[in-house]
Chains A and B, each alone.
Chain A
Amino acid sequence: MSVDNNKAMENRLARPDVRQKVTGAAKFAADMFPKNVVYAKFIRFPFGKGKVETADVEAARKVKGVISVDVNMQADAKYAGHSIGRVVAETRDAIDDAVEALGLKFRFTDPRSRAEDVYQGVPEASPEDLDKLKNIFDQTPVVVEATYTTQVQTHTSLEPHGSMVDHRGEELEAWTSTQAVMGCQEGFENASGLSASKITVHAEYVGGGFGSKFSIGAEGGLATEISKQQGRPCRVVLDRREEHSDGGNRPGSIQYMKIGADKSGKIIGGRVHLMSSVGFGRGRGGVKNPNYYDFGTIVKTEADESLNAGLPAAFRAPGYPQGAFAYESMIDELAAGLRMDPVEVRLKNETSDRRRKQLKMGAELIGWDGRVADGASPGRIKTGYGCGVASWGNGKGKCQADIDVYRNGDLEVRIGIQDIGTGASAVVIDVVAYHLGIDRNRIKGRLGNSNYPPGPGSGGSVTSRLSAPALMDAAESAMKAVRKIVAKEMKVADDEVEYSAGHFNKKGSTQKVAWKDACALLPTEKVTVSGEFNDEFVGNGVSDCAQFAQVEVDTETGIVHVRKVVAVHACGKPVNRLTAENQICGGVIQGISFALFEQRILDRRTGGHVNHDMLYYKIAGSKDVPEIIPVLDVEEGDNGVKSLGEPATIPTSAAIANAVANATGARVRHLPITPARVLAALDSAKGGVA
């Protein structure tokens, strides 16, 4: 049977584990408290740079319930949150008691705390490039020269990083909060020295990953070591403060642009310099400036500057939202200089017909017609509109899946992927249900276990894209396995039996056998089949999108309210419309949070991370979420399942920034767009820039 790509496979059914998640029946790694568990935790340096001066280790070791305390007095701490020791104890409170008994005193030296202080400026271009640039700006009547900055966004998954490891000498079992259950099996292999066949990693439920949970981390390593040493299960789960300081982050950026356009609005080129402010080592920066638009001839340089701060990690579309904020802002500034409509300028420079179409769709849905000139919205509370685009690639990869077919017609699907909150658990059963034309309630999906057939880590928005073809293939094998029995019963060759919509029938005959009745013919209680990723159901092309925002800005207070976001996304064939739309809404909300609220604040003197909680590390809450209109843009010829999770968060902050500038007539070139910055922009210009 070939895949009928024109047949709608989508549904709007809730994910199968929704009840468990809502009622608390779902057990996450952080919920695991086996009998006889032992707890371990890192001791962390609280300031940007320095050493431990005094630590009363003897006193700490005497605390009731404490098993061991180690402090590295020689450690050169390089950031707030840097591990300088560890405590092992019978309870979590005993750990905190031990840390208190240490009476730690620290010596700190001047930290590198602020990106603007370490920024080296724009390096001079080579004589050759200077000629190029001169040539460009000679022919561009409109030039935007601006520096845009983005903040550090720290990972704040609802479930913190952590593992509960039971090292039983010859074998190891771990419950880990991860977005790569297979990768973690390898991680525990390295940490324990046991072979993969002796290791089981569980990640049945995961409370968010966003790029920060691919490895077992230092916490998984510590749990393994202590479990082996103590011969007991060991639990190491980070607290919220550790999450903020050492759980990874989206690095900050300073992005210089000088870009010129001709009179028609066509961008001719210019100079770009991108700096990422990273952690205490170099690298892992990487602002992404993809060619969604044709920017012409660009002279580009890049640099990373280190801070005494926690290391960056992959973060939902790493490098992209910060890049989009800058170049989409730049395009709107060009449009203002050209006195052209920002959508028109985008259409002029777009490289993709699909996105051109999406820009027009989005403009219509947001009510772009109602947009007035920058700052011309009447009253103290002004309305503005803005937009941005993005795209995401859809490469090939590997994935396998097994299906057990039971004699009663039920199926169990096993696949070594994980559901980090995206609804992958729904996709697993819905793809099989669609392919076999049977009720999804007949199918039990099992994922999040390293003993299942290997699947990809959930990074690069691949989970649905790579698993759907493997699941299709396995479902096809399941059909064939049952068909074999049916054909035997009908006394014909296998290929004389057709299958469609849950029924087998002999070619040329009206005689039908329902799936359930066919399975009853199985000679054994169950039969197991396999499938793997193949080209038949792979998403083709890229996942394009365009997003539009409508905001209200209170010009007396500088407070921004996002009122509406329209998000038009190509995602191939939607498997489950509800989870797809949820992915888009989640990306948009995270984008709003990045645009307006989130930022790591380091104390400039001590390098301490002062907003290491969820009080002052501000994340969009329910009242900050506007009306969101997710639009799944499905065209004839959209085959297979395409990526969706990451593009959904790329253009949101840019669209909001542009909408704020449209409302107020004053541009904020720095994220997050706080009341302080909006007021400063309004002040410095009455139509200017801050």
Chain B
Amino acid sequence: MKAFDYAIAENTSGAIAAIGKKYRVKAAGIDLLDMLKERTEPGDRFVSIHRVAELGGIMTTADGLRIGALATLAEIGDSELVRKSFPALAEAASSAATPQVRARATAAGNVLQRPRCWYFRAKEYDCLKKGGATCFAVEGENQFHALFGGGPCHITHASNIAPALVAVNAEIRARGQKDTRVISADGFFTLPDKGVGRENSLSEDELVTEFVIRKLPTKSAYVEFKEKQSFDWPLAACTVALLDGKWRVVLSHVAPIPWRATKAEEVLGGTADIDEALAEKAADAALEGAKPMRDNGYRLKLVRAAVRRSLLEACGKAAV
């Protein structure tokens, strides 16, 4: 691993001060340490926020939920509060990685992790995201790359819980050097054509402190499909939530951001009790706008199945 300066923040203010001095944030370090070992992480000064207690925890608010940036995936998945009020989020958190990783990995780390594209992760590929001139996936090995919203870079967003946050349009609170910004999940994630080096609109001098869910869904479900059942990233997944009487359908692991399937949402409208026929119709609609690459088109079938099954599951119906 390359040498770096390391600071440990005792509280949020200390973390913000360090970030102001160009320190990059380390929480559990699950993704960051990998990148440091692979020498694909450009930073060399890091501040650990892992000890900052006020950034952790899960609690109810007047009308919703607050999830601290440092709440672990295990805490989210095991929380009775989350299981009852937003099952799709609990399910998404519980199905990520392994028990060991979930015990350590944080909510903010999961949302902000870098893409798992094998060209991005290997130092020798001077890809677009690393400042180069080529997306190697276009002509290369692209079975795990984006089906929607790709171009010029074709990563998929790797977070398991981000789609659930988008499904309820959660508030992402970020503290900067001067003030706190509230960013809606709908606007937080950014496509490559808006800046290929980044995956979201967080500034370098900001720290995500918490996720606030103002409105809880009346129904929700998360369905993912993995090749391997132990420690694998999904080939496709879908989170659905009935929020304010309207369905939100968010596809994941198939686009550079958690991907709203707006056509499917239009088909569903406010029908609270979805039957098989409507689920099928929505599943077909969810595929609109897909731009499959040479080797990843098969995953559209998985997207379709994930949409259909998650809708039926959210409505308490047998999906298979």
The interface of chain A, by Cβ under 8 A from chain B, is: 46-47, 93, 96-97, 100, 106, 379-381, 554, 556-559, 561, 596-597, 601, 603-606, 608, 610-613, 615-616, 618, 620-624, 674-676, 679-680
Distance of A605 Cα from B139 Cα, bound (Å): 8
Counting contact residues on chain B (CB < 8 A from A), the size range is 35 or more
Which residues of B lie under 8 Å from residue A623 when comparing CB positions? 228-230
The interface of chain B, by Cβ under 8 A from chain A, is: 1-3, 39, 98, 116, 118-119, 121-125, 136, 139-141, 143-144, 225-233, 235, 295, 298-299, 301-302, 305, 320
Distance of A42 Cα from B226 Cα, bound (Å): 36
Which residues of B lie under 8 Å from residue A379 when comparing CB positions? 320
**The 9 nearest A-B residue pairs measured at CB:** A621-B230, A623-B229, A46-B124, A676-B298, A623-B230, A610-B118, A556-B305, A603-B140, A557-B225
Which residues of A lie under 8 Å from residue B123 when comparing CB positions? 46
Q: Is B231 in contact with A621, judged by CB distance below 8 angstroms?
A: yes
Known: A46-B124, A675-B235, A680-B298. A610 touches B141 (CB 8 A): yes
Q: Is B136 in contact with A100, judged by CB distance below 8 angstroms?
A: no
* Shortest Cβ gap from B309 to chain A (Å): 8
Which residues of B lie under 8 Å from residue A624 when comparing CB positions? 228-230
**A93 nearest in chain B by CB position:** B1
Residue in contact with B302 in the complex, picked from A557, A618, A621, CB distance below 8 Å: A557
* Shortest Cβ gap from A128 to chain B (Å): 43
Q: Is B124 in contact with A557, judged by CB distance below 8 angstroms?
A: no
Which residues of B lie under 8 Å from residue A554 when comparing CB positions? 305, 320
Q: Is B39 in contact with A100, judged by CB distance below 8 angstroms?
A: yes
Residue in contact with A47 in the complex, picked from B124, B229, B231, B305, CB distance below 8 Å: B124
Residue in contact with A679 in the complex, picked from B3, B227, B231, B301, CB distance below 8 Å: B301
Which residues of A lie under 8 Å from residue B124 when comparing CB positions? 46-47, 106, 608
Which residues of B lie under 8 Å from residue A611 when comparing CB positions? 118
Which residues of A lie under 8 Å from residue B140 when comparing CB positions? 603-606, 610
Which residues of B lie under 8 Å from residue A674 when comparing CB positions? 227
Which residues of B lie under 8 Å from residue A100 when comparing CB positions? 2, 39
Q: Is B118 in contact with A675, judged by CB distance below 8 angstroms?
A: no
* Shortest Cβ gap from B307 to chain A (Å): 11
* Shortest Cβ gap from B311 to chain A (Å): 14
**B134 nearest in chain A by CB position:** A605
Q: Is B118 in contact with A557, judged by CB distance below 8 angstroms?
A: no
A-B residue pairs in contact (CB < 8 Å), sample of 6: A46-B122, A47-B124, A381-B320, A603-B140, A615-B233, A675-B298
Distance of A616 Cα from B117 Cα, bound (Å): 10
Q: Is B230 in contact with A622, judged by CB distance below 8 angstroms?
A: yes
Distance of A611 Cα from B116 Cα, bound (Å): 11
Which residues of A lie under 8 Å from residue B1 when comparing CB positions? 93, 96
Distance of A603 Cα from B136 Cα, bound (Å): 9
Which residues of A lie under 8 Å from residue B235 when comparing CB positions? 675
**B126 nearest in chain A by CB position:** A105
The residue among A380, A381, A624 with the most chain B CB atoms within 10 A of its own CB is A624
Distance of A620 Cα from B231 Cα, bound (Å): 9
**B300 nearest in chain A by CB position:** A679
Which residues of B lie under 8 Å from residue A615 when comparing CB positions? 116, 233
Distance of A321 Cα from B123 Cα, bound (Å): 35
Distance of A80 Cα from B260 Cα, bound (Å): 39
Q: Is B2 in contact with A621, judged by CB distance below 8 angstroms?
A: no
Distance of A287 Cα from B78 Cα, bound (Å): 49
Q: Can you add 20 more A-B contacts, CB < 8 Å, to A557-B301, A604-B141, A676-B299?
A: A46-B122, A96-B39, A97-B2, A97-B3, A380-B320, A558-B298, A605-B136, A606-B136, A608-B124, A608-B125, A612-B122, A613-B121, A615-B233, A618-B232, A621-B228, A621-B232, A623-B229, A624-B230, A675-B227, A676-B143
